Amino acid sequence: MRRLTQQIEVLERIDQLIRLKATGRPKQLAERLGVSEATVFRVIETMKEMNAPICYDLTRQSYMYTEATRFKCGFYLEDLDEATERSLSGGYVFGNMKQLISF
């Protein structure tokens, strides 16, 4: 599982550098991230397969996005309204439990 976490971290770091237009050449990017140049190419290709609008700008010598985009990977908590809570399996029961506990 640690390997997957490391791969996600590399992908997130590349995304951040692309948004800053500060990746440098592939070899420089690989050195910065402590990975092989082949890994950089694989990650970029994977990002493209995930519909990331990436190109390499020869003038800036950096990868960049051709459109405004955002990559998000992780788990994020959100508050649910009562109707949404009821539509979830167990959500309605949980709401009833809260009422019983506060009784």
Domains assigned to the chain = 2-65 (1.10.10.10), 75-103 (no CATH)
Task: Give Cα separations from 36 to 10, 26, 44, 78, 100 (angstroms).
Answer: 12, 9, 13, 38, 57
Taking the model in full, what pTM does it have?
0.70
Is 83 in contact with 95 (CB distance < 8 Å)?
Answer: no
Q: Which residues pair with 62 in a beta bridge?
A: 57
Residue 87's pLDDT is 73
pLDDT digit string (tens) for 11-60?
999 999 999 999 999 999 999 999 999 999 999 999 999 999 999 999 99
Residue 73's pLDDT is 82
Alpha-helical segments (H) within 34-72: 37-49
Residue 86's pLDDT is 74
Eight-class DSSP state of 55: E
Phi, psi of 54 (to 5 degrees): -105, 140
